[in-house]
Amino acid sequence: MITIVMAEDHQMLIDGVKSFFEYNNDINIIGTVNNGDDLVKLVCLKKPKLVITDIRMPIMDGIQATRQIKKKLPNVQVLVMTMFDQPEAIKQMLDAGATGYILKNSGIKMLSKAIVTVASGQTFFDPNVAFNFMNDYIDDNVTIGKSDKIILSKREKEILSLIANGKTSKEISETLFIAKTTVDTHRKNMIRKLEFSSGNELVKYAIDMKYQF
């Protein structure tokens, strides 16, 4: 049984998640709170297997709460569920001790997968967060979720549009005023997101989608 304490300042979201897992024999939400300070207190009291937390919360944010939880109870796993997909936010949560990171718009199926993965001691990342800075966090013990809906960032769509027009990575970097290595990283991320096996497939996709960006 995976016991969970959840922190989220939107009660409607808490109610929705609790309702989904109400009859699940493997996942049990044993407590919920609406701020980071109460999260730390409840986790110390109930000692769940897993914590689900947002980043931005009243009184104490998820970063500080995670840091305190991992210091007091290092065996408790932390899964972040948030709308923040900025690299700095992700990095701060991972550095604080979280081992899972998903976006709120990813759906309940991905949340279920993330819960099971993180509770087992593995790391789980939403497929739609930025990975260009995360090499230090990714190894063979990391699961990248698969989304039914592929979400490309505005920058990725810009690059795809330029790829469709025959631009090389160097030409794209000059057009967008970014480093060529950044363009190459975006290419790799899109290949991963779209589950392609090569850059040629990405080029073909860009051409096929040329007028939809």
Residue 110 belongs to domain with CATH number: 3.40.50.2300
Q: Which of 117, 120, 122, 69 is CA-nearest to residue 93?
A: 69
One domain, residues 129 and 195: no
Q: Quick check: is 149 in a domain?
A: no
Which of 121, 144, 167 terminates a domain? The answer is 144
Which carries the bigger pLDDT value, residue 120 or residue 130?
Answer: 120
One domain, residues 40 and 66: yes
One domain, residues 18 and 106: yes
Question: Which range scores top for mean pLDDT: 28-32, 142-146, 187-191?
Answer: 28-32
The total number of structural domains that make up the chain: 2
Dihedral of CA atoms 113, 90, 80, 107 in degrees, nearest 10, equals -50
One domain, residues 109 and 161: no
Q: Quick check: is 161 in a domain?
A: yes
Distance CA 87, CA 132 (A): 8
Reduced to 3 DSSP states, what percent helix, strand and coil does the chain have, rounded to the nearest 5? 50, 15, 35
Quote the pLDDT of residue 211: 47
Which of 124, 144, 164 terminates a domain? The answer is 144
Question: Which range scores top for mean pLDDT: 36-45, 112-121, 166-175, 187-196?
Answer: 36-45
Q: What is the domain range of residue 179?
A: 154-212
Q: pLDDT tens digits, residue range 83-129?
A: 887 778 888 999 999 999 998 888 888 899 999 999 999 888 887 76
Q: Quick check: is 79 in a domain?
A: yes
Query: pTM of the entire structure?
Result: 0.66
Q: Quick check: is 132 in a domain?
A: yes
How far does Cα 1 stand from its chain's mean position? 24
Q: Residue 160 belongs to a domain with what CATH number?
A: 1.10.10.10
Which of 144, 167, 198 terminates a domain? The answer is 144
Half-sphere exposure of 209 (CA within 13 A, CB side): 18
